[in-house]
């Protein structure tokens, strides 16, 4: 049976920039990745700005923080390569939708960046080894 209701959110990934355009129930949300830190700034008209931070030690979890630095949500790696999204503060339904959609975008982009980085490492090692 086809899904007939409109999506809660969607994302448009830009190949040549560090931005992702997210629509959440028709509201524009802008995500911009910092190539230096791996974090994502989420800019909303309704709730202000938030950041998804990549855990630099493990590169396997993301934390969403508000402008005060409080942790709002965490995406953790668990056994078998699975991920778990945990919302750590009480919030309204629409905000949970923002957390879920932007958290998914962050995971997709982070996975691609890490994959591209590993390919670069393999290429560099191959060049040094003469392979």
Instruction: Indicate the domain borders of the chain.
Output: 9-124
pLDDT at 127: 44
pLDDT at 37: 76
pLDDT at 59: 62
| Claim: this prediction has a pTM higher than 0.85 | no
> In 10 A of CB 124, how many CB atoms?
10
Judged on CB neighbours under 10 Å (0-12, 13-18, 19+), 99 is buried
What is the mean pLDDT, run by run of 10 residues, along the chain of 131 residues?
A: 78 81 88 82 90 75 90 84 88 92 84 56 43 46
pLDDT at 125: 41
3-state secondary structure the chain: CCCCCCCCEEEEECCCCCEEEEEECCEEEEEEECCCCCCEEEEECCCEEEEEEECCCCCCCEEEECCCCCEEEEEEECHHHCEEEEECCCCCHHHHHHHHHHHHHHHHHHHHHHHHHHHHHHHHHHHHHCC
């Amino acid at each position: 049976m086809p899904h007939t209701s409109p999506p809660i959110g969607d994302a448009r990934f830009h190949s040549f920039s560090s931005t992702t355009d997210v629509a959440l129930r028709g509201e524009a949300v802008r995500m911009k990745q910092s190539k230096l830190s791996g974090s994502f700034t989420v800019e909303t008209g309704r709730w202000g700005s938030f950041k998804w931070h990549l855990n630099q030690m493990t590169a396997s979890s993301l934390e969403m923080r508000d402008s005060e630095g409080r942790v709002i949500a965490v995406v953790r790696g668990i056994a078998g390569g699975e991920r778990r999204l945990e919302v750590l503060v009480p919030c309204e339904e629409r905000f949970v939708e923002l957390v879920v959609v932007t958290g998914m975008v962050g995971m997709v982009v982070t996975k691609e960046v890490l994959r591209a980085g590993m390919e670069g490492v393999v290429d560099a090692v191959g060049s040094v080894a003469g392979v």
